[in-house]
């Protein structure tokens, strides 16, 4: 399991090519005064 920033499509594609898939869980993190959305990915093989 890992978390990827929604605003980072390059990282999302990278993990998807390795067999990870978003499982529908999202969370918002405050980092450096900005609200960023993270998507949870799970390895599906």
**Domain span holding position 17:** 2-43
What is the tens place of the pLDDT at every residue in 1-45? 999 999 999 999 999 999 999 999 999 999 999 999 999 999 998
Helices (H), the chain: 9-17
What is the tens place of the pLDDT at every residue in 29-39? 999 999 999 99
Asked whether 15 and 41 are in contact (CB, 8 A), the reply is yes
Give the dihedral of Cα atoms 12, 27, 32, 6; nearest 10 deg. 20
Q: How many domains would you assign to the chain?
A: 1
């Amino acid at each position: 399991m890992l978390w990827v920033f929604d605003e980072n499509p390059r990282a999302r594609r990278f993990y998807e090519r390795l067999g990870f898939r978003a499982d529908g869980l999202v969370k918002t993190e405050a980092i450096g005064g900005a609200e960023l959305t993270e998507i949870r990915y799970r390895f599906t093989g």
